[in-house]
């Protein structure tokens, strides 16, 4: 007997589909209310850090170099007051086979899929992770399907997203491209059910634990070369897995580096809006993902996301689109390094934050990504013009997402803007309370304190404020 494939029917059995395609019974970690056992869920990976490192090195992933950006540091110091301007470094994750840190997530997921006997892997992504899964699947001899939200209703896709699709196809994946909207998750579930493939989600414990090697490796490399950990590490924040995994790896290394999240400011644009989809010039690493996934991680494609950035974030900043484009060009012209926009989001923030720090401090951007035809500045800016976005040089504080794109008229105008973490924490608590009908239990209060990296008194005060 065939199952009904209408939207409501498929969504009604999403829990069953997920359980079968991931191999995790998320019910084992549930308490019946807000709280769940996050630590136990992360142990579900069944791999130690050493095992993950071996899995990745066998697949040519990891052991990427750290590069000091001496010329960019010198420019930051020209903009800073005397004695300030931290040394800026990048972890060159573009050296991974698929060209981004997401190869670490994919290596673990694909290895686990093959171990469990799956014939193929399937993932929903704008592209970099899809390329990583495709690359690892090719090495492992598995089939790969990438489901990609690509177009608006007129069939127009952003150059960066189309570039990522080319990369996925070049690495042997079948790419299913969809228009923006709720059909992405529906089609993803339907394909999982039809193919019986492994769900190589970005948000499983396998995917997040894979990034732990990045944090751990960074700490060890820095200690070997400079005798200390970086004073601060900046992670581009979208769905939260990059920051979560890196921070967990740093913890395992015993590092005390400040962990800073960075996103492109796209406030005012709705990511699921057909009319606004092509008004943005960034497809990931922006507040359209970074804010909602921080304040409610379980909006992802698994019942419980393993990416929980507010548990690990010390600070969160935003930068403008124009600043990221500017720093991308600056990196190429001053350092001779062409990199894609995701890591350069953190680099733009690092250029600003370095000026706040004494010049004997070390500041690391923990990822770079590959670049290509659709990821370059010119096609993205041309696409912006075609969509009615005004482009000019000036002060980035005048940038209005969806209306204009302001390239800094001077590098001193590149500024990282702090996000109020307490506001995000209270938003998470509010979402958690709205997810259940019963009052929070003492266990829930403890869980929310861990989720928000605060204490029980903060959570109780936030609940009282919400009730008032």
Q: Do domains 7-54+100-203 and 58-97+206-418 have the same CATH topology?
A: yes
d(CA 431, CA 428): 5
DSSP reduced 3-state for 319: strand
Pair 362, 103: CB distance under 8 Å: no
Q: Give residue 184's pLDDT band: very low, low, confident or very high (50, 70, 90).
A: confident
First to last CA, the chain: 52
The domain locations on the chain are 7-54+100-203, 58-97+206-418, 427-467
Choose among 231, 233, 229: nearest CA to 219: 229
Over the stretch 94-151, which tens digit does the pLDDT of each residue have? 999 999 999 999 999 999 999 999 999 999 887 799 999 999 999 999 999 999 988 8
d(CA 354, CA 240): 23
Structure confidence at residue 53 (pLDDT): 96
Over the stretch 306-362, which tens digit does the pLDDT of each residue have? 999 999 999 999 999 999 999 999 999 999 999 999 999 999 999 999 999 999 999
pLDDT over 60 (residue 453): yes
Does the domain made of 7-54+100-203 have the CATH classification 3.40.50.1100? yes
The structure's pTM equals 0.96
Give the helix/strand (H/E) hosting 327.
helix 321-335
pLDDT over 60 (residue 365): yes
Pair 202, 105: CB distance under 8 Å: yes
d(CA 303, CA 134): 24
d(CA 151, CA 148): 9
Q: Who contacts 170 (Cβ-Cβ below 8 Å, separation ≥6)?
A: none
Does the domain made of 58-97+206-418 have the CATH classification 3.90.320.10? no
Q: What is the dihedral of CA 312, 316, 318, 324, to 10 degrees?
A: -50
Report the relative pairing of strands 66-68 and 198-199 from DSSP bridges.
unpaired
pLDDT over 70 (residue 1): no
Q: Who contacts 377 (Cβ-Cβ below 8 Å, separation ≥6)?
A: 325, 328, 329
């Amino acid at each position: 007997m065939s199952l009904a494939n209408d939207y409501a029917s498929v969504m009604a059995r999403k829990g069953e589909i997920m359980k079968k395609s991931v191999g995790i019974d998320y019910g084992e970690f549930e308490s019946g209310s807000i709280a769940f056992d996050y630590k136990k869920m992360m142990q579900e990976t069944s791999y130690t850090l050493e095992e993950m490192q071996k899995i990745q090195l066998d697949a040519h992933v990891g052991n990427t170099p750290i590069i000091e950006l001496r010329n960019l540091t010198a420019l930051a110091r020209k903009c800073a007051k005397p004695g300030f301007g931290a040394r800026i470094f990048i972890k060159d994750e573009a050296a991974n086979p698929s060209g981004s840190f997401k190869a670490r997530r994919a290596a673990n997921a694909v290895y686990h899929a093959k171990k469990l006997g799956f014939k193929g892997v399937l993932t929903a992504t704008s592209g970099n992770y899809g390329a990583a899964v495709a690359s690892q699947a090719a090495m492992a001899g598995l089939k790969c399907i990438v489901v990609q939200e690509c177009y608006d209703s007129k069939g127009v896709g952003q150059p960066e997203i189309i570039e990522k699709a080319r990369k996925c196809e070049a690495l042997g994946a079948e790419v299913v491209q969809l228009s923006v909207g709720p059909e992405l998750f529906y089609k993803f579930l339907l394909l999982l059910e039809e193919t019986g493939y492994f769900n190589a989600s970005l948000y499983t414990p396998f995917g997040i634990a894979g990034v732990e090697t990045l944090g751990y490796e960074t700490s060890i490399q820095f200690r070997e070369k400079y005798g200390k950990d970086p004073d601060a590490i900046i992670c581009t924040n979208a769905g939260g897995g990059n920051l979560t995994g890196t921070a967990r790896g740093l913890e395992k290394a015993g590092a005390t580096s400040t962990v800073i999240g960075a996103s492109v400011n796209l406030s005012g644009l709705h990511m699921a809006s057909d009319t606004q989809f092509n008004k943005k010039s960034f497809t990931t690493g922006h507040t359209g993902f970074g804010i909602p996934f921080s304040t409610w991680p379980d909006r992802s494609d698994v019942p419980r996301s393993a990416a929980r950035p507010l548990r690990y974030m010390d600070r969160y900043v935003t930068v403008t689109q124009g600043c990221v484009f500017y720093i991308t060009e600056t990196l190429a012209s001053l350092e001779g390094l062409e990199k894609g926009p995701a890591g350069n989001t953190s680099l733009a923030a690092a250029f600003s934050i370095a000026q706040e720090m004494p010049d004997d401090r070390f500041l690391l951007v923990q990822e770079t990504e590959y670049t290509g035809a659709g990821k370059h500045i010119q096609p993205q800016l041309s696409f912006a013009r075609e969509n009615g976005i005004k482009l000019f040089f000036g002060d980035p504080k005048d940038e209005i997402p969806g209306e204009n794109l302001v390239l800094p008229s001077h590098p001193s105008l590149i500024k990282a803007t702090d996000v109020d973490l307490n506001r995000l924490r209270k938003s998470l608590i509010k979402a958690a309370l709205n997810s259940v009908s019963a009052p929070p239990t003492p266990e829930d209060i403890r869980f929310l304190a861990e989720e928000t990296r605060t204490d029980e008194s903060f959570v109780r005060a936030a609940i009282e404020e919400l009730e008032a």
